[in-house]
C-alpha cells in the first residue's frame, strides 16, 4: 500500500441534482482498474466548511486549524498524492464551494499532481483554465491533459435517466486519440510518482 499512489477524486459541486456525481463516480470506478493506484471519491458535501475567514494565512498555520471540519478536510488532502478535481463551469468559472475548499489549505496541496475534469458551457474549458492558475499558486503541479465533457452529455442524462455511466462516458475515451482517459490518468500517475519520490527526499 505504501508504494501505491493515492488519488482523491474531488467532486467540486454541492448543487442539488448536480451532474458532477456522474463523471466523478465514473472516473473513480475507472481508476480502480489501474494497478498501483488507491482511489477515493471525495465529496465536498461531506466537508461543509465556513467561507474562509481566518485572520492568518493557511501557509502560516502549520496545518493547525480551529474549525473541526477544516481539520477533517486538511487530513484528507494531506494524505493524498494526487487529485482529480471534477468541477462544473458556472458563469465562465468554477464553483465557489470548490474555491473555498482550495483556499482553506496550503501546505497540504504542495508539490502534488492535479488533473481536471469539467463540464458545462464550453465543455468546462474556462473553469479549467482558472483552476490551473489557482493550482500553480498553491504549488500544485497541474498536468497538461484534461477531460472536457460537452453539454450534450448532460442533455443525454435529462432525456434518458437510466443511461449508465459506462455507456454515457465511454465515447470520451476516444475523443482525442486512442484512449484519452488512459493518457490523462497515466500522465497524472507519472507526475504523482515523481513528485512523491521527490517529497520523500525532501526536495
Residue 161 has pLDDT above 90, yes or no: no
| pLDDT for 3 | 83
User: Over 80: is that where the pLDDT of 175 sits?
Assistant: no
Task: Report the distance separating Cα 45 and Cα 59, nearest Å.
Answer: 24
Q: What is the DSSP track for 80-147?
A: -SEEEEEEEEBTTB--HHHHHHHHT-STTTTT-EEEEEEEEGGGGHHHHHHHHHHHHHTT-EE-S--E
Mean residue pLDDT across the chain: 94
Neighbours of 57 (CB within 10 A): 9
Domain with residue 135: its CATH number is 3.40.50.360
Label residue 67 by pLDDT band (50, 70, 90).
very high
* Domains contained in the chain, number: 1
Nearest partner of 53 among 63, 64, 43, 67, judged by Cα: 67
Q: What domain range is 178 assigned to? A: 5-200
User: Cα(176)–Cα(183) distance, rounded to whole angstroms?
Assistant: 10
Task: Tell me the three cell numbers of residue 74.
Answer: 486538511
What is the structure's pLDDT at 1? 47
| The model's pTM | 0.94
pLDDT tens digit sequence for 20-45: 999 999 999 999 999 999 999 999 99
The 10s digit of each residue's pLDDT in 92-134 is: 999 999 999 999 999 999 999 999 999 998 999 999 999 999 9
What does the alpha-carbon distance between residue 38 and residue 108 come to, in Å, rounded to a whole number? Answer: 18
Amino acid at each position: 500500500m505504501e508504494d501505491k499512489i493515492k488519488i482523491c477524486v474531488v467532486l467540486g459541486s454541492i448543487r442539488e441534482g448536480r451532474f458532477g456525481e456522474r463523471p466523478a463516480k465514473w472516473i473513480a470506478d475507472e481508476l480502480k482498474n489501474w494497478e498501483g493506484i488507491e482511489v477515493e471519491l471525495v465529496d465536498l458535501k461531506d466537508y461543509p466548511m465556513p467561507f474562509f475567514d481566518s485572520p492568518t494565512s493557511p501557509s502560516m498555520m502549520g496545518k493547525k486549524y480551529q474549525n473541526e471540519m477544516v481539520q477533517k478536510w486538511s487530513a484528507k488532502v494531506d494524505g493524498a498524492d494526487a487529485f482529480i478535481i471534477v468541477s462544473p463551469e458556472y458563469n465562465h468559472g468554477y464553483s465557489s464551494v470548490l474555491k473555498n475548499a482550495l483556499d482553506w489549505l496550503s501546505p497540504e496541496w504542495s508539490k502534488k499532481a492535479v488533473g481536471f475534469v469539467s463540464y458545462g458551457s464550453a465543455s468546462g474549458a474556462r473553469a479549467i483554465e482558472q483552476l490551473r492558475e489557482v493550482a500553480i499558486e498553491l504549488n500544485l503541479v497541474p498536468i497538461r491533459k484534461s477531460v472536457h465533457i460537452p453539454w450534450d452529455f448532460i442533455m443525454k442524462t435529462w432525456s434518458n435517466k437510466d443511461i449508465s455511466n459506462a455507456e454515457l462516458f465511454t465515447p470520451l475515451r476516444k475523443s482525442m486519440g486512442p484512449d484519452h482517459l488512459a493518457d490523462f490518468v497515466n500522465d497524472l500517475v507519472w507526475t504523482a510518482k515523481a513528485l512523491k519520490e521527490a517529497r520523500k527526499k525532501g526536495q
